[in-house]
Amino acid sequence: MTIPETYTSLIPLWAVLVSLAAVPLILISSKYRNLRETWTIAASIIKFGLVLSLLPGALANKTAEIKILEVFQGVDLTLRADPFGVFFALIASGLWIFTSFYSIGYVRGLNEHKQTRYFASFAVCLSATIGIAFSANLLTFIIFYEILTIATYPLVIHKETREAIIGGRKYLVYTLTAGLFLIAAAAWTYQIAGTLDFKAGGLFSDGMLTAKNALPLFLLFVMGVGVKAGIMPLHSWLPTAMVAPTPVSALLHAVAVVKAGVFGVIRVVGFVFGPYLMREFGLNNILMTLAGITILVASLIAMRQDNLKRRLAFSTVGHLSYVVLGAAMLTPSSFTGGMMHIAFHATMKITLFFVAGAIYVNLHREKVSELDGIGKVMPWTMGAFTVGAIGLAGIPPINGFVSKWYLGMGSVELGNLIPLAILVISGILNIAYLIPISYVAFFKKGEKLEGKGEAPLFMVVPLVITAILSVILGIFPDLFFKFYKLAANIAVSIIGAN
Amino acid sequence: MMLINFLTKNSPVLIPILYLSMGLLIPVIAGGRRHRLAWPTIALVILIGLSISIFNIFAVIDAGKPIHYYMGEWVPPIGIEYVLDHLSAFVMFVLNVVAFLVIIHAKDIVRHEMPGKEVPYYGLISLMLAGFNGIVVTGDMFNLYVFLEICSLAVYGLIAAGEKKSLVASFRYLVMGTLGACFYLLGVGFLYLTAGSLNMADMKAIMPYIYNHPTTIIALAFMALGMALKMALFPLHGWLPDSYTHAPSTSSAIIAPTGTKVGSYVLIRILFFIFGIKFISEMLPVAHIIAWMGAIAIIYGSVVAIAQKELKRMLAYSSVAQVGYIGLGIGLANPLGLIGAVLHILNHAFMKACLFLVAGNLRFKIGHSMISKFNHSIRKRMPWTMAAFTIAALSMVGLPPMAGFFSKWYLVMGTIKNSNWIFLAVVLISSLLNAVYFFRVLEKVYMKPLNSGSPEESDENTKPTEVGLQMLVPTLVLAVGLIVIGLLNALIVKGILAYIVPLAGM
């Protein structure tokens, strides 16, 4: 591995700002919807291009960094495109492109109100997400984390029904509280360490943490990032927030917001505490227990949900904890697997949400029990669903298998087979709650489906592409974006530092 | 060149003199049929005051140490001394910039709410500013009392000019405010009897010699109590909600951001610059008591604000809570807490001014500010005003990158530094409570009513009827200012506030 070096570059800043710059343009052109959507698409493509241009540097361990201004004594608002940041930014910005196209099909298909607010908020969310990815220190992270919270709120309450407003309130209470815990944790960290900079392997020096303050500090952090990461018992905002329009659920509640949470978990475990301190104070066991329980319980609850989006929401809760589990096991393979699951779960789950939205727009059906026979009228859509479902269960050749394989290896490396057992059981439960949907869609006889066809192309094309992407990444995980190489490098930088 | 020389030599004293003389001259300039001159005059006067205060800040930063001015060349402790240090220059700037923006906004709304009374009204504003600025800049304890009475008298008038109930509110404030000033004066008297000096710096030097004197302790108790009354620190806040609610829009917008801040400023002076940190933590645990009062104020003010039906009243209770933040920061008696408190003087001044201007805009265009009657037509009618409200509200909740986040951050750091977990919890919980009462309003304004009738019914009053530019621009400047202050807070802290810490003896 080469020696890490840092160079100053404005690209991370542009990557954050490009979608923010689109917001006024979106607002101004609110009367001309084609022009308005052009800004969204343009911003998403430019953003992805900028992030992609950082990939070679990240692979060669050359980190782009930009200090914007000092916000607190000795702490700058700094964006740093380290490998892990690039990894997450790639996923978020890449999937934003698909979601943008899909959103257009969705809001027009349903003739939604306040579309301008919708697209503007979406753009702010993406800025915040990339900001989170590139945050070089905890304070910068918190700033973008809170912006993400607020920018998501208008999307959650988009429908403005009583249910949506109550869901929005719950979302705010959970996420704002989490932000406060995070602020307290960061302030305390600063008092102890005198720095807030993320550092692979942990930012605390020897002897800074004692048995007395390590545990409460860690719990503050877990409560801070755990809400967005959906760790039980902090998850209950997530299913409620599914009242949001489906593209929002797809991108934000399967990719950006919740992944910002698990991204935060890995930052805390790998870049604040570090594997050594995690083990020394037994913090890894706490995290592992929480993740294990979450995986199993969420899968069990998912089986009982009749509303398709709610079922997917609980499935998300479970899969997020795969990542948490990977971080908690603290072995090279488990970190690699956990990080890859951030990417791979994203492509699979976004497919499933896209499918749910397509069914809703096309047939106005939301319940699993109403899906009999729809595979015959929407073969492409349900085919994509099946791919995603198989992948989430961890069956090859879909990419979910790859990340799960590394997580399993991590369990073996650790010499503790309980995580492996949890993964296997969870896989079976995944089959139990997802595959029957494909089954009834294709093999049961449906009612009132005469004359119906596929959903609009704006929706079907993105979801088919994400499904194909899941398969390709399953067979060649290193193709295109080098997800495997990146993840393995990051894992080594975290573990190797000790 | 001569002007600069003149300014450097006399800058501490210029602002109080300017406002004091103009307070008397405005009725002359704009008397009788020339009443249209009243607003341009006061605006110009405050602009000059603001310019001098900006000049003062740079003068102090340049000098790197306090600038002293001796009245009539009488050297203290005999003569009266004016001191321009980083703290007083900063607070004076906050006072003047907020006053300037509010007065720009005031032109139409004052004419609308108090037709024919502009001349005395603006005269009182000038007097009040003379008092506030004088309090901030003086280095003499008795002189401070004089200015305290000047500004209080002006404020009574400014509040009483409002709707019918404002008379009672003003009378109540008069009683409480006079009590506060009396307590302060008693304290000064005790100190004078013991030490024989009225100069603040001199008193600080004498303090070790009268350290164990019972009268010193009593003096501290009286002075702190008096100022706690003036800054409306819980449980001495009783006068505040009614006064702010029933006062004219401009009065609330100018008094709410500045009045309680001046009280807080004096408290900082008394505790750290007269008695010293050792005395207030060893002899009489005033700091600790004030921190507790602040903590209770934060929770109490926020909870009561949630229950309010009227926007201005909600903002008034929120002020009680925000003063609690400042009290808590002062009471922590460590550098981070003090910086947090002083930074919050600036932040809260901007936030509250912005919010009260929004309330004024609503009353001006819609005729009321009852939260229960708010609906989404307001957003369509006044999009910019509500945008400003949203920014200020998010700042009040303490969300980055708005200014409110950073004072909260310093307070959080301060509480952790003292390992006081209860105070930490209070600061954090209060953010959530703020979120409750602000999102309650935002929900009403930005979302369609849940059980509304036909959509056509609201169509007629959804045409944009935004207030004029003269009212809109100050509101928006304050809102944008919140983001700018937030991003540049390190600059402010490093350039100005950091110097206060050693001055305060920490």
The secondary structure of residue B75, as a DSSP letter, is P
Substitution target from B411, B413, B426, B438 for chain A, most A beta carbons within 10 A: B413
Task: List CB contacts of B425: < 8 A, sequence separation 6 or more.
Answer: none
Q: How far apart are the first and last CA of chain A?
A: 15
A242: DSSP letter: G
Are B432 and A177 within 8 A, CB to CB? yes
pLDDT, tens only, B245-293: 888 888 888 998 888 889 899 999 988 888 888 888 887 888 888 999 9
The more confidently predicted of residues A18 and B455 is A18
Q: Is A73–B493 a contact, with Cβ atoms under 8 angstroms apart?
A: yes
pLDDT value at residue B459: 47
CA distance A415 to chain B (A): 39
Helices (H), B66-165: 86-113, 118-137, 141-160
Inform me whether the pLDDT recorded for B232 exceeds 60.
Answer: yes
Interface of B with A in 482-501 (CB under 8 A): 487-491, 493-494
Task: Indicate the pLDDT class of residue A353, thresholds 50, 70 and 90.
Answer: confident
| DSSP code for B494 | I
**Of B363, B338, B409, nearest in space to B247 by CA:** B363
Which residue in chain A is spatially nearest to B405 when comparing CA positions? A143
Q: Which residues of A touch B447 (CB under 8 A)?
A: 157, 160, 165
Amino acid of residue A190 = Y
- The pLDDT of residue A3 is 60
* HSE value, Cβ hemisphere, 13 Å, CA-based, for A46: 20
What is the token pair recorded at B286? 């005033």
Q: What are the residues facing B81 on neighbouring strands?
A: B70
Confidence of residue B455 (pLDDT cuts 50, 70, 90): very low
Query: Is beta strand A62-72 parallel, antiparallel or unpaired with respect to A75-81?
Result: antiparallel
B450, pLDDT greater than 60: no
* Lowest mean pLDDT segment, chosen from A52-61, A335-344, B131-140: A52-61
The secondary structure of residue A241, as a DSSP letter, is G
CB-CB under 8 Å, B416 with A187: yes
Asked whether residue B122 carries a pLDDT value surpassing 80, the answer given is yes
Identify the three-state secondary structure at position B138: strand
Judge: A142–B412 Cβ closer than 8 Å, yes or no. no
Q: Render pLDDT for A239-282 as a digit per residue (tens, 0 to 9).
A: 888 878 888 888 777 788 888 999 999 999 888 888 888 888 88
Q: How confident is the model over A93-123, as pLDDT tens digits?
A: 888 888 888 888 777 777 777 778 888 888 8
Strand pairing class (A5-8; A62-72): parallel
**Does pLDDT of B457 surpass 70?**
no
Rounded to two decimals, what is the model's pTM?
0.89
Q: What is the pLDDT of residues A336-351, one digit of tens each?
A: 888 888 888 888 888 8
Of all residues in chain B, the percent with pLDDT exceeding 70 is 97
CB distance A69–B405 less than 8 Å?
no
Residues 175-204 of A with CB under 8 A from B: 176-177, 179-181, 183-184, 187-188, 190-191
Confidence check: pLDDT of A63 > 80: yes
Mean pLDDT score, B187-213 = 87
Residue with more model confidence, A100 or A142? A142
- Asked if A200 and A208 count as a contact pair (C-beta separation under 8 A), the reply is no
Given pLDDT bands bounded at 50, 70 and 90, which one contains residue B326?
very high
Please determine, for residue B186, whether its predicted confidence score (pLDDT) is greater than 90: yes
Name the band, by pLDDT with cuts 50, 70 and 90, for residue B181: very high
Sort out which chain A residues have CB atoms less than 8 A from B400's CB and list them: 142-143, 146-147
Give the pLDDT confidence score for residue B456 in this predicted structure. Answer: 41
- Rounded distance, CA A376 to CA A382, Å? 9
Contact A114, A157 (CB under 8 A): no
Q: How far is A404 from chain B (nearest CA, A)?
A: 37
Residue matched to tokens 């890995």:
A266
- Spell out the SS3 assignment of B149-200: HHHHHHHHHHHHCCCCCHHHHHHHHHHHHHHHHHHHHHHHHHHHHHHCCCEH
- Give A450 or B230, the one with higher predicted confidence: B230
CB contact under 8 A, B494 and A147: no
Q: Is residue B216 within 8 Å of B169, Cβ to Cβ?
A: no
Of the residues A149, A183, A243, the best mutation for testing chain B's interface (the one with the most B CB atoms within 10 Å of its CB) is: A183
Identify the pLDDT of residue B132.
Answer: 93
| Closest residue on chain B to A77 (Cα) | B487
B271 in Cβ contact with B289 (< 8 Å) = no
Q: A180 and B435: CB-CB below 8 Å?
A: no
Q: Nearest Cα to B397, choosing from B345, B339, B438, B341?
A: B438
Quick one: which of A21, A46, A47, A50 has its CA closest to A120? A21
Cβ-proximal residues to B94 (8 Å cutoff; 6+ apart), any chain: B258, B261, B345, B346, B349
Distance CA B299, CA B302 (A): 5
Structure tokens at B307: 């229950």
CA-nearest residue to A182 within chain B is B428
- Mean pLDDT for B378-386 is 83
User: Hey, are the CB atoms on B450 and A161 less than 8 Å from each other?
Assistant: yes
CB-CB neighbours of A267 under 10 Å: 22
CB A64 within 8 A of CB A7: yes
Q: Do A165 and B488 touch (CB under 8 A)?
A: no
CB contacts under 8 A, A 124-163 vs B, are: 142-143, 146-147, 149-150, 154, 157, 160-162
> Does the CB of B408 have a partner CB in chain A at under 8 Å?
yes
Give the separation between CA B43 and CA B131, rounded to whole angstroms: 18
For residues A449-463, average pLDDT: 77
Q: What is the DSSP letter of B366?
A: T
Q: Are β-strands B67-70 and A62-72 bridged in parallel, bridged antiparallel, or unpaired?
A: unpaired
B394 CB neighbours in chain A (<8 A) are 150
**Pairwise CB contact (< 8 Å): B439 & A69:** no
Compute the distance between CA of residue A289 and CA of residue B97 in angstroms, rounded to an integer. Answer: 55
Task: Kindly state the tokens that stand for B405.
Answer: 């986040």
Give the range among A131-140, A172-181, A467-476 with minimum mean pLDDT.
Answer: A467-476
Interval B343-366: pLDDT, tens: 999 999 999 999 999 988 888 888
* B93: confidence class by pLDDT, cuts 50, 70, 90: very high
Say yes or no to pLDDT of A1 above 70: no
Nearest chain A Cα distance for residue B315, angstroms: 21
Mean pLDDT over all residues of chain B?
A: 86
Please determine, for residue B463, whether its predicted confidence score (pLDDT) is greater than 70. no
Gap from A498 CA to chain B (nearest CA, Å): 30
CA atoms within 13 A on the CB side of A71: 25
Q: What angle in degrees, to the nearest 10, is found between the helix axes of A332-363 and A399-414?
A: 150
Mean pLDDT is lowest, of A105-119, B49-63, B141-155, for A105-119
Separation of alpha carbons A63 and A81, rounded Å: 6
Domain ranges in chain B are 285-506
Q: Please give the residue of chain B at the shortest CA–CA distance from A188.
A: B416
What are the structure tokens assigned to A283, written together?
């913090």
CB contact under 8 A, A176 and B397: yes
Distance from the A178 Cα atom to the nearest Cα atom in chain B, whole angstroms: 10
Which residue in A20, A23, A68, A71 has the most chain B C-beta atoms within 10 A of its own C-beta, making it the best mutation to test that interface?
A71
Instruction: Supply the DSSP symbol for A271.
Output: I
Query: What residues of chain A lie within 8 A of the CB of B399, using their CB?
Result: 146-147, 149-150, 179
Tokens of A40: 């969204």
Is residue B460 over pLDDT 90?
no
Q: Please give the mean pLDDT across all residues of chain A.
A: 84
Supply the ipTM of this predicted assembly.
0.86
